[in-house]
């Protein structure tokens, strides 16, 4: 019998192929909120993933972004983001993925992030390491923020209340640069394979973070809340990095929370 991870990989590949086909057709988008986009691709991909999960694991619960899931008492729960990076997708910007992760009795045990544009399958199983297209991956060896490339994101919901711009500025000054690729799962996968040293974001959902968090941890990295507290999947905030720059980043974050800025924003 295939493992949970093997089945998740198979489902992610199928859903990724569907997304890639729809991406080429430039399908229209609708608005879920003021700036929160959704497309037929989000819905079709979610239908496909849920159908496959129900067939393979009829007793498991599912939490899925577009609302197609259901709870059960099995102790198993899948987190599904059928299209992470919808805004990119809707604009023809080729950075998006499909991601799913499995939790057993509150612990993440398997996770997959598939980028169909680059044909990159990131997969991790608790205790068995993290992989990119079957090759073992690990976080980077950078020891200081000043030698790091980092990433962040800004959620589309309640964005006028998001405090991240203060963090963005200080991190941009403290590192080689801050990337904002528009797909939290890809950001996390890139931390896991050492392309980035760190990723942080305020206001994420469990389906954005579940697979990526397991990948980062299995690749030797560290995840926490913004003040160093243990990370909660129901978050909503996450700092994930290679572990070596975690304390230094938290120190910088705590200064920003106190309103102490190492580099003030320039006056216009």
Residue 15 touches which of Ca ion, ligand IPD, none (CB < 5 to 8 A by kind)? none
The least CB distance from residue 189 to ligand IPD, in Å, is 12
Among residues 253, 45, 33, the alpha carbon closest in space to that of 150 is found at: 253
Residue 204 touches which of ligand IPD, Ca ion, none (CB < 5 to 8 A by kind)? ligand IPD
What is the total count of residues that contact Ca ion (CB under 5 A)? 5
Specify the residue, 72 or 87, whose C-beta has the smaller distance to ligand IPD.
87
Binding part of the chain for Ca ion, among 60-68, 135-143, 245-253, 255-263 by CB under 5 A, reads 60-68
Specify the residue, 88 or 220, whose C-beta has the smaller distance to ligand IPD.
88
Residues that bind ligand IPD (CB under 6 A): 81, 84-87, 153-155, 182-184, 201, 204, 208
The least CB distance from residue 117 to ligand IPD, in Å, is 15
Which of 81, 217, 237, 241 is in the footprint of Ca ion by CB under 5 A? 81
The least CB distance from residue 131 to ligand IPD, in Å, is 22
The string of DSSP codes covering 119-171 is TEEEEEETTTEEEETTEEE------SGGG-EEEE---STTGGG--HHHHHHHH
Token pair 């544009």 in the structure block, residue: 117
Residue nearest to ligand IPD as judged by C-beta position: 153
Residue 154 touches which of Ca ion, ligand IPD, none (CB < 5 to 8 A by kind)? ligand IPD
Specify the residue, 96 or 244, whose C-beta has the smaller distance to ligand IPD.
96
Q: Are 226 and 260 in contact (CB under 8 A)?
A: no
Which of 9, 44, 84, 145 is in the footprint of Ca ion by CB under 5 A? 84
The least CB distance from residue 13 to ligand IPD, in Å, is 19
Q: Report the Cα 140 to chain-centroid distance in Å.
A: 18
Q: Are 79 and 104 in contact (CB under 8 A)?
A: no
Specify the residue, 208 or 244, whose C-beta has the smaller distance to ligand IPD.
208
If one asks whether residue 65 binds Ca ion (CB under 5 A), the answer comes out as yes
Residue 115 touches which of Ca ion, ligand IPD, none (CB < 5 to 8 A by kind)? none
Token pair 């992030």 in the structure block, residue: 113
Quote the CA–CA distance of 265 and 107 in Å, as a whole number: 41
Specify the residue, 84 or 217, whose C-beta has the smaller distance to ligand IPD.
84
Binding part of the chain for Ca ion, among 59-67, 129-137, 160-168, 248-256 by CB under 5 A, reads 59-67
Residue ranges binding Ca ion (CB under 5 A): 65, 81, 83-84, 208
């Amino acid at each position: 019998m295939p493992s949970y991870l093997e089945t998740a990989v198979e489902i992610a590949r199928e859903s990724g192929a569907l997304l890639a086909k729809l991406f080429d057709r430039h399908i229209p988008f609708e608005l879920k909120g003021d700036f929160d986009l959704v497309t037929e691709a989000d819905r079709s991909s979610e239908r496909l993933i849920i159908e496959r999960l129900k067939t393979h694991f009829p007793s498991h619960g599912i939490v899925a972004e577009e609302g197609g899931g259901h709870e059960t008492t099995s102790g198993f729960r899948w987190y599904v983001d059928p299209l992470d990076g919808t805004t990119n997708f809707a604009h023809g910007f080729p950075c998006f993925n499909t991601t799913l992760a499995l939790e057993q009795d509150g612990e993440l045990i398997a996770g997959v992030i598939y980028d169909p544009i680059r044909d990159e399958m990131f997969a991790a199983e608790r205790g068995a390491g993290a992989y990119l297209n079957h090759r073992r991956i690990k976080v980077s060896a950078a020891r200081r923020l000043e030698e790091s490339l980092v990433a962040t994101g800004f959620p589309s919901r309640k964005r006028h209340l998001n405090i991240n711009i203060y963090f963005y500025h200080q991190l941009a000054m403290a590192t080689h640069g801050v990337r904002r690729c528009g797909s939290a799962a890809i950001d996390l996968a890139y931390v896991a394979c050492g392309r980035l040293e760190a990723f942080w974001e305020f206001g994420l959902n469990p389906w954005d973070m579940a697979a990526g968090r397991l990948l980062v941890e299995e690749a030797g990295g560290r995840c926490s809340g913004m003040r160093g507290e243990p990370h909660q999947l129901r978050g909503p905030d996450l700092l994930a990095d290679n572990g070596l720059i975690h304390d230094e980043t938290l120190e910088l974050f705590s200064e920003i929370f106190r309103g102490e800025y190492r580099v003030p924003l320039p006056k216009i």
